[in-house]
Each structure stands twice: as structure tokens, then as C-alpha cells.
Structure 1
Amino acid sequence: MAPQRFREQFTQIQRSMPDVPLAVGPDDAGEFLYEKGVVLARDGEEARVVEDAVRQHFTTFAGLTPDHVRRASPETNRSGITRIRVADPGEGDGGGDPAVAGALRALSATEGRAGRRLISRNHVVSIAVNACPGDEPVPVAPGGRPNPAVADAAHDPESAVGVLVIDTGLMHDHRSYPLLAHTRGDAQVAECDDDGILQQYCGHGTFIAGLVAAVAPNTDITVRGTLNDAGAILESEFGEKLFEAVDRDGWPDVISLSAGTSNGRTDGLLGVDAFMRELRGRPTLLVAAAGNNGSATPFWPAAYADLPGYENAVLSVGALRGDGEFGACFSNHGGWVKAYAPGERLVSALTGFDSPVPYVYQHSTYDACRYGFTYACTCHHPRHTGVLSEEGGSGKPDQVMFEGLAQWSGTSFATPVAVGMIAAHMTAQAETDPRKARRQVMDATTEFAEVRGAHVPALLPPTWRPTQVSPPPARA
């Protein structure tokens, strides 16, 4: 059964994608979300093989007519993916989709003979991992300082490292934050709701850009609002959007990506396969968040770092807790996570530099860490009551005001810290190859942390200040 917060985020994401019926998978376990009634295949012959096999399966075993199997979007696109409708997506509830599961089983033998995957669910790729960042943002009092603090380096347009952030868009007042004065990109589509309340994931991309700029001021940062207001997009669209971003801006030195999904497999995402293969032949380095499921299950695209041929092209980043000595409770882990960086209670730009803006917490904190840790983790500290948790109840959600900086946690934010360290190294060493810089940074790392019993490389910026990690506060 999916945990409480995953259920709440399922509702939140479904509201942001009202025309896309979603299901929880696999089998209601709460590992990922996907589109009901639809599977993915590569364009051309493989799509025809999938259609034929699924049609035969349904006609023989499920009593459905062949008309249930048809192309949902037959046009060819850059990512080379076709959506194939296998059932009425309006049937059933969100606790799984038997028709999609049946389609996957129908192709299992054919995939074995072909030697590669032919079919996939159409997963939701999201910053809403499990399905949310490590926590919700916390206001920082006026006069607070970013953490990591701003490194001692100047911005030089001639030598600046190009960083492309694939995320939500920039807040309207982001240039009021000096570090982001030269940042460009897409504006956040809708910052507040009809009541003037800041929406849940607004500021996510701005916060990330602020972290990159703090660790590595000599960067030219472009933020693309590829993800919608709930930080989510279908896998079938994501690969195409990645191509659009690099076509528009050119291939950068580094891509910072704080989104993804698990899919129950160890061979990547079908929807981004074409983009990842092209990335492999480019000089660009992809730095991707490992996800916040507290799990060792591969999370994509970050887990490409563990696939042959991608070792130098992708760096997967997990999160350390506030002391930098251990992994954060929420961070994914395992051999496919190649580096860890501070990702708990970081401080960066959010919004409200022009004027304070209210925010209502969406989720209640837990009474204890949902992953079994005993330190004062973000599962239950600082305590707050959220509107989604209290729907139908008597509790009143907590409201706070943001004015400038915020404190936030997640592998979403460990990722731009790692990006900043690589970019800062490129500037300091006049290194123009980001993949070579990545190897040099990793080889020179002398700091290590403990994550689930393993000793892992810890990328700790010189300006980062550890925060106190103490036992959880006693309840009144």
C-alpha cells in the first residue's frame, strides 16, 4: 500500500493533469504513477509488433475486441515514441490498470526473443518524488543567509560555465536576488492560486538556480519550465521536451535535472531512450537527482549513471542530512547513486523579494520518521499541518509567509550543489570539458559519508555550513 504522502501527491498531480487518468503502480505499491489505458513503444516496426501482440492477447484472453487497441498518437517525433491505447482509460480506479499490466505480459516472451524491451507504461516523470521533495519549504527570516553561502568568485560572461536547469519556471521577481540577476529562462506559468496563495511547487526551479549560482557564481544559468505546476510530465512527452530544450538553447556544459521516476526495471526509460543515446555522444554532463523514495530501486534518468556507456555522461546524486556525515532519511541509495551532496535544510531563493507571499502547507508532518530514522528529520520537524492531510478532518492547515529566502530539503537540491561544485572546478582549473571535470572532482574527493552502511563520496562545498542534527523534539 502506498504511504500517506504518496496518496496525497497522487491526488495533487491528478488535479494538475485533469485530462490524463492516472494509476498507481506496480499493483498499488506506490512506487510510481502512470497513464491508464496506454502503453509506449518505439515508432515503426516495434510499434506494429506491440499492437499485434496486444490485440491478440486481449482477443484471446480478455474478451476485448481488437478495436480497443489503437494508436493514440501515431505521429513520429524526435523521441521516437508512440502511445498505443489498449483500453478505455476511464475504466476502473487509480489503484492499478489490469489492461496495461496485461499488455506488458503479452509482450514478455516477444521481448525475450528480441533481446530488448519493446513496451512500457507511460510513467509520470516528476519532481514530486514519492511523490514529493524531501519536505515542503520553510520560511527564512529576513536577513538570513543562503546555505551554501556565496562562493568568492566573479561572474565572467566570457568564461562562465553553461548550466541548463530542467524544472519549473522562474519566479517573476527572481532578478531581485542578486545571484540570479543574469539568469534567464521560462517564467513560472502560475505562481499563486485564485486566493493569492503560493502554489505547492512554485519556486522549485528558482531555488535550484540559486543553489548553482551560490556554489559557482561564474555560471550562465538557463531555467526551462519543462514541468508543469505540480512538477510532473508524462514520459511520452518528457523526451521530446528535453530535445526541445537543447534545440532551443544549445547543448550546455551541464544539465541539472531534479526529476524522474522509478519503473520497476533496470534498463532505463523508453520515453527518454533517444535523448539519452544522443546525450552519450555529446560533451554535456547530465547531473540528476536520485529521488526521495528512501529506496534502492533505480530511479531514472539518474540511474543511467550505472548503465554501460553512460558512466561519464551521467552523475546521479543522493542527499546527505544536515551534518553531512550520513544520508538523509528520504534519499534513494544503492550502487547506482554515484555521489552524495548536502540536501537537507539548504537555503536559497524562493520568491517574495518584491513583497511577502502566503503559503499553505499541503502535507502534515509525521509523528515519526517514515523511514525509521531517529534524528530530527524532515518527516516530522518542523511540525506543521497540511490541507491535503486534513481534508475531511477538523484540523486547520498552517499558513506561513515567504519573503526572499527559504529552507528546503530533497535530492532535488543536492543535485544543483553537485552541479555547482563541478562548474566551480571548471572555472578554477580552466577546464572546458565537464565530464573530465566531473572525474577530477570525484577523484579529488576526500570526504565520505555513511549511507545505509556504505561509505560514499560526499561532495561538500567549502561555503556549506552543517546544520545541527539532534533527536526529534518531544511532543507537547
Structure 2
Amino acid sequence: MAPQRFHEQFEHIQRSMPDVPLAMGPEEDAHFLYERGVVLARDGEEARAVEDAVRAHFTATEGLVPDHVRRDGPDTNRTGVTRIRTGAPGAGDDTVPHALRALRQAEDRRGRRLVSRNHVVHIAVNACPGDEPVPVARTQPANPAAAQGGYDADSAVGVLVIDTGLVHDHRSYPPLAHTTGDAQQAETDADGVLRQYVGHGTFIAGILAAVAPDTAITVRGTLNDAGAILESEFGARLFEAVDQGGWPDIISLSAGTPTESGDGLIGLDAFMRELREQRTLLVAAAGNNASDTPFWPAAYAALPEYADSVLSVGALRADGESEACFSNHGPWVRVYAPGERLTSALTGFDTPMPYVYQHSTYDACRFGFDYPCTCQFPRHTGALSEGRESTGAKPDQVMFDGLAQWSGTSFATPVVAGLVAAHMTAQGERDPRVARARLLAATADSAEVRGARVPAFRPPTWRPVPVIAPAVPA
């Protein structure tokens, strides 16, 4: 992945978590963020073993203070995870590498991974941005357009969207008239300018409602805080979301993270185990790093025990022929769907609202693709862009008054969630996992991804967008 936008987003996320010392993964991949000075372990005997192993290592290591090794919070909780601090709070030196080296020996003895970093889970256009939204005239139809059929409270498929919340005027967009959930916090800054990623959850709900009109959509603002949350907190927030309304038919999740080890998230162990015992289908975004590195929790789809309960989604480019330049890929990605230049509801239906771009476009695709992708068009200069101050370039500002065009696996995900829901409605199927299996088995559609043909879901109301580069101002 080209690291520039990742570095720009790091500062943005750090400002949203001022009391959490964050760090980036290794420079050569720049894929994940984590809480510095903390490791995660499973509750109970394993957490105590981790604490003892780290303390013993620090005692034997010159310059490290064993008294700074301690567990934060209760020893047992529903998420089954314990934070273990491995250094003085706020200390500049990151002692986690020492802890991890000490624990590798303990893991080798037990034959099980005992510990991980406390990763930052983020919406899939946040720390790995596909692009930023582009205003669309209200006269231009949504894409995908609204499918035929209406909403029936008695038959509607229940879909829970875990994301940022709903903008205040979302009901002004007819497909979202029946959508409920949490309000988006702090839509604008002190100057009345839209904050970054406001409208992300609303945009997703709009796509879902268009593809599957007979859905009872609930949007939870689990990721309202700059679209990011610590792994140690995410499991508890997921439990809160399902506890509010019960386990739904489908969860649409456009968030995740790669991990240092390449394995799953210890912080989600308990939630994933409980999900497996329900009938709920988790539809999860594959991420926008243009990488084959697993992005969790989408990558649970490749584990046999979760094969029927998790569906991972990559993004197709605007013409639908192959993958979008930003889309993650690999055998752990089960299906691809349109995810570039989709059109849905954003915000500003009541009053037009300004937005200042945060990232600049590139002269060429940052991932090395040769089609006119969203890396390059439409051209704009962003406020966070590295080197902008030296050129004196001002960030570009636009106005939103309802609809927007946006790209990312974030938005391919509700396309697939909507198609599963629409299949349930059309076939009278009440089990979303059965619907998932039948859709995958029945699809004859495919797309080319990295030289291979892979399953692709394309909604009947989706229109390909020609990938012709607009003229670049002289």
C-alpha cells in the first residue's frame, strides 16, 4: 500500500484519541495502527500467564521496570480479553517488543497464540482511504438505483449496520424513511464544515435500502469517533449493538484492520464465537490496502469454523470488469461487488453543507493500475496532504446537498448484504446463511482479479460507470 494517506490519517485518528498513545505498523507495509505500550490476552489463566512471563522477563532485563507490568480492568468480562500494560503510562519508550519476544517462548511451549497488540479497528475508508465523497446533483439517480418492491414491517429482513451514525436529515431521502438508529455525532466543526467521514453510515444504509427495499435497517454509531476504535473496546461495543435489538438477520460491517501476526483479533474472540452460534450472517469489508494481507474480521470467512457465518467482500471498479485498484484481494475474499463511484445519500438534504478535502489526488494510480481510477479523479488538493504548505496550495472545498459519489470496499459490502436480504425476500427464505450459500452457488457472474476469475455480485439496478479519464485542467 502507498503509505501517504495512511500517514495523513494517522494524525487524524490520533487527534480523535488524545489520551491513547498510538503507533503505526512497520514502515514497509504501513497497514495497521495500535496502542503503544499495551498487549491483549485472553482472560483468566492465560492473562495471568502473560503477565507473569512479561514481569519475569523485565526483571531479568536491565533498564526495564517490572512494576509497570499490570493488568488493566477486571480479570473476567464478556469480551474475554484483558489489556496488559507493559510500561509506564505515557512513557515514550515502547516496551511491547520486549514483551512480545518474551511471550513467543511461552507461546511455543503452549502451542497457542497468547498475546497480540491492541490494534485500532477502523472504517474501511479511514486508515486505508479509497477516496473521499464527491457531490452529485439531486437530479442524478442513485447507483445502484432503488429496486422494485416496498417496505413491509412484517416481512422485512433485519439488517444491523455497524458504522458511523445517521445524519440528522437522513429521512429526507425516501429510501431511508424507515431506517432507525443512532445519530451521527458532531456532523460539523466550529466553522460549520462537515467533518471527515460524516455520512459514511448513512451512505451505506442508502445502498442497502436501494438494493433491498424490504429491509428493517438499524444503524449503530459504534464508530462515530473518527471511524476508529481500539480492538479491546470493539468486542464490547458489538455486543452492545446486538443486545439493543437482538441478533439481526444480517450485520453489515465496513470496518476492520490487518494484524501484526496475520491472525484474527483476540479482542473479537468472544463475539465471533457467539456469532457462530447464532443464525446471523456477518457481511464484512475486505479493506482498501490493495493487499492480500488478511483484513479482520472479513478474513474470518476463510476459517472453516466461520465459513458459513462470515462473507468477505472486495470491490469491483466502476465498469465492473475487474477489481478496483484499492481493493484488498486473496483467497480469503469470498465475493466482489461494485464499489467504485457508487451514488447514495450523504447529507445536507435540508441545508447544503460545505466539505474541505483532506487528501490530494495523485498524478498516477498509487497502486500502479493503468485505468483512470479514484486515485486520480476528480482532482483535488487536501488539507492533510504532505508537502501542501511548501507549495502554498489551498485545500479544495465543495458543497453537499444530498447525494454523493463514493468509493471503497465499505460500499461494496452493503451491496452484497442487500443482495442476500433481497434473495431472502424473493425466496421466502428466513435463514441468511442459507441465502448466502444459495447465492454463491447460483451466481454465474465473475470478474477478473489478479489474473483469476472470482465470484461477483452485480445488482440488477447497478449501472456501470465508464472509466474514461476526465480532462485535466492545464
Shared fold, TM over 0.5: yes
Unaligned stretches of 5+ residues in structure 1: none
Structure 2 CA distance for aligned equivalents of residues 24 and 335 of structure 1: 26
Aligned residue among 437, 442, 445 for 1:444: 442
CA distance in 2, matches of 1:64, 1:406: 52
Asked if the contact 1:255/1:284 (under 8 Å) is kept, the reply is: yes
Following the alignment from structure 1 to structure 2, what is the Cα–Cα distance between the partners of residues 472 and 405? Answer: 20
8 Å CA contact retained: 1:260, 1:291? yes
| Structure-2 separation of matches of 1:459 and 1:62 | 57
Output the CA distance in 2 between the equivalents of 1:62 and 1:297. 36
Aligned residue identity for 2:364? A
RMSD over aligned CA atoms reads 1.5
Q: What is the aligned partner in structure 2 of residue 328 from structure 1?
A: 324
Give the match's secondary structure for 1:312: coil
Aligned to 1:45: 45
CA offset at residue 68 of structure 1? Answer: 1.5
Provide the rounded CA distance (Å) in 2 between the counterparts of 1:379 and 1:417.
Answer: 22
State the match for 1:17 in structure 2.
Answer: 17
**1:265: Cα distance to partner?**
2.9
TM-score, normalisation: structure 1: 0.96
Residue 43 of structure 1, CA deviation? 1.1
Shift in CA distance, 369/130, structure 1 to aligned 2, threshold 3 Å = farther
The structure 2 residue matched to 1:261, chosen from 257, 262, 266, is 257
Per the alignment, in what secondary structure is the counterpart of residue 161 of structure 2?
strand
Choose the corresponding residue for 2:376, options 353, 361, 380.
Answer: 380
Aligned to 1:235: 231
Please tell me the residue identity of whatever aligns with 1:290.
A
Distance 2:161 2:294 in 1: 22
Instruction: Give the secondary-structure state (helix, strand or coil) at the position aligned to 2:140.
Output: coil
What amino acid maps onto 1:41 in structure 2?
A
2:346 maps to 350
Q: Deviations over 1:193-235 (max 9, x none)?
A: 0000000010000000000000000000000000133100000
1:215 counterpart residue number: 211
* Aligned counterpart, 1:407: 405
Partner Cα separation in structure 2 for residue 17 and residue 375 of structure 1: 37
Q: How does 1:73-222 map to 2 (within 5 A)?
A: 73-74=73-74, 76-92=76-92, 98-129=94-125, 131-222=127-218
Partner AA of 1:3 in structure 2: P
Q: What is the percent sequence identity of the aligned residues?
A: 72
Which residue matches 2:306? Answer: 310
CA drift of 1:60 comes to 1.8
Taking structure 2 as the reference length, what is the TM-score of the superposition?
0.97
- Could you give the per-residue CA deviations for residues 23-48 of structure 1, whole angstroms, max 9, x where no partner exists? 00136741100001111111111111
1:247 matched to 2:243 = yes
The one-letter code of the counterpart of 2:375 is C
Question: 2:459 aligns to what?
Answer: 461
Query: 1:129 deviation in Å?
Result: 4.9
**Pair 1:300 & 2:296 matched:** yes
User: Within 5 Å, which residues of 2 pair with 1:278-289?
Assistant: 278-289=274-285
SS at the partner of 1:108? helix
Q: Output one character per residue of 1:425-468: Cα deviation in whole Å (capped at 9) or x when no partner.
A: 00000000000000111111111101111111110000000000
CA drift of 1:352 comes to 0.5
Task: Output aligned runs, 1:264-279, within 5 Å.
Answer: 264-279=260-275
**Structure 2 Cα separation of the partners of residues 195 and 369 of structure 1:** 33
Query: Relative to structure 2, which stretch is displaced further, 367-376 or 289-298?
Result: 367-376
Unaligned runs of 5+ in 2: none
| Closer, same or farther: CA 19–28 of 1 in aligned 2, 3 Å | farther
Contact 1:154 1:217 in 2 (8 A): yes
From 218, 223, 226, the counterpart of 2:222: 226
Distance 1:84 1:62 in 2: 20
CA distance in 1, matches of 2:397, 2:27: 36
Q: How many residues align?
A: 472
Deviation at 1:252, TM superposition (A): 0.2
- State whether residues 164 and 224 of structure 2, in contact with CA within 8 Å, keep that contact through their aligned partners in structure 1: yes
Q: Distance in 1 between matches of 2:129 and 2:430?
A: 32
After the TM superposition, list the runs of 4 or more consecutive aligned residues in structure 1 that deviate by more than 6 angstroms: none
> Which 10-residue stretch deviates more, 390-399 or 143-152?
390-399
Distance 1:367 1:468 in 2: 20
Partners in 2 of 1:460 and 1:199 — Cα distance?
31
Cα distance 1:81–1:62, how it changes in 2: closer, same or farther (>3 A)?
farther
Indicate how the Cα distance of structure 1 residues 292 and 170 shifts in structure 2: closer, same or farther if over 3 A, else same: same
> 2:247·2:280 contact (CA, 8 Å) conserved in 1?
yes
Q: Secondary structure at the match of 1:131?
A: coil
Once the two structures are overlaid, the 10-residue window that deviates more, 457-466 or 48-57, is 48-57
- Change in 2 beyond 3 A, CA 1:167/1:465: same
Displacement of 1:475 after TM fit? 6.0
Give distance in 1, aligned partners of 2:16 and 2:272: 27
**Letter of the 1:91 counterpart:** A
What SS does structure 1 have at the residue aligned with 2:337? strand
**2:68 maps to 1:68:** yes
Q: 1:64, 1:118 → 2: CA distance?
A: 22
Greater mean deviation of Cα atoms: 68-77 or 310-319:
68-77
| SS state at 1:309 partner | helix
